[in-house]
Amino acid sequence: MTERIVLAYSGGLDTSVGIGWIAEETGAEVVAVAVDLGQGGEDLETIRQRALDCGAVEAVVADARAEFADDYCLPALQANALYMDRYPLVSALSRPVIVKHLAKAAKYHGADTVAHGCTGKGNDQVRFEVGIGALAPDLKVLAPVRDFAWTREKAITYAEEHDLPIDVTKSSPFSIDQNVWGRAVETGFLEDLWNAPTEEVYSYTEHPTANFAAPDELVITFDRGVPVAIDGETVTMLEAIQQLNRRAGAHGVGRLDMVEDRLVGIKSREIYEAPGAIALITAHQELENVTVERDLARFKRQVEQRWGELVYDGLWFSPLKEALDTFIGKSQERVSGEIRMVLHGGGAVVTGRRSEESLYDFNLATYDEGDTFDQSLAKGFVRLWGLPSKIAAKRDLAK
């Protein structure tokens, strides 16, 4: 039986060229695997046929949108995952689900190697290869763009020489990765940190000042940390993201322009659009403020940062990530209730909160009639709380 290699296939130039090139260089048959994560654009059948026309012996297309939303985006939401306190892990979240489908296809088709189209400068090579190592440690990995110094010019030449059915004349200055959780844009004139992004960079969002319509007010209902309804209408996790992508995107919510620390040790300038993700995380964080006890909330913020770093660094399948998932899951047991939010002018602003699990006691918090807080207890509390510092100060001042 001829050796087979499973290729992570996007339908673009590099992976389309990769089908024939890998077959020529290795003598193996190539099975292309394309995974729909809500990135839009071409339909799956078009992508599948292109892979076959480029020489793949089989093309597997998987609609993983609901799986991605439920098993990857939802944990990120419950972790309030924002790498460097800003980036909602748009690309990082998508790689482990693609890896899962690659490993599954390799087993089904009897392949001993998987291939991807990542360069040697980015994070994705790590996410793919570390993920494969965790799920299928016996598989080998081939990375033609990185290991054989492919350039766009070489890929275009190869496509033209082999008459491949792909558009090699249109040249975009940007590198774009997108899915239902958001959109990432880099390279081109954005590599000069002084250059402001132009409107052509954006696709998921309108300019924050472009929508002169009334602000969009909505209510998101959560059950144990899961968004289950918007404005009283039941939604799945995928539907919640999609609806908020439209509604928050129309008001310019979720635009990010940041210089981030890549895993490989370099800094890169990235433009992100994540209207649904930012709106949901904002609402979820506020509901946690109402329902999660103070020490648990403080410790969870530390866990959230580490969780986001692990996912960014390609360690989705690591033992530590799995253990932190258990902690985060436990922390969500009381995160139920409703958040009212207004979308307008680039902002997702929480204006109301209510929950049967609330730890907010009006009678303890009020300064008006009905106050049940015993202020006489505060004097002794303050003295005891500051006692260690006071004793240390007396010692130090005596020297």
Binding site for ATP, by residue number, is: 8-16, 117
> Are the beta carbons of 64 and 38 closer than 8 angstroms?
no
Q: Where are the beta strands (DSSP E) in 13-164?
A: 29-36, 58-63, 113-115, 140-142
Q: List C-alpha distances in Å: 137 to 72, 112, 140, 273.
A: 22, 10, 8, 34
Say if residues 267 and 357 touch (Cβ distance below 8 Å).
no
Instruction: Name 179's Cβ contacts closer than 8 Å, sequence gap at least 6.
Output: 37, 38, 39, 68, 90, 91, 93, 94
CA separation for the pair 136, 149 (Å, rounded): 26
What are the DSSP E strand ranges found in the chain? 4-8, 29-36, 58-63, 113-115, 140-142, 175-179, 182-186, 216-223, 226-230, 233-234, 255-261, 267-273, 337-344, 347-354
Query: Residue 21: how many CA atoms within 13 Å on its side-chain side?
Result: 23
d(CA 376, CA 306): 41
| Identity of the residue numbered 94 | S
Q: How far apart are the first and last CA of the chain?
A: 84
Place of tokens 């985006």: 73
> Looking at residue 190, what DSSP letter applies?
G
Annotated binding residues for L-citrulline, as ranges? 87, 123, 127, 175, 260, 272
| Binding site as annotated, residues | 8-16, 87, 117, 119, 123-124, 127, 175, 260, 272
Written as six digits, the tokens of 223 are 């059950």
Q: Cite the active site residues.
A: 14, 95, 124, 175
- Across the strands, what pairs with 8? 33
CA distance 292 to 287: 8
CA gap 396, 399 in Å, rounded: 6
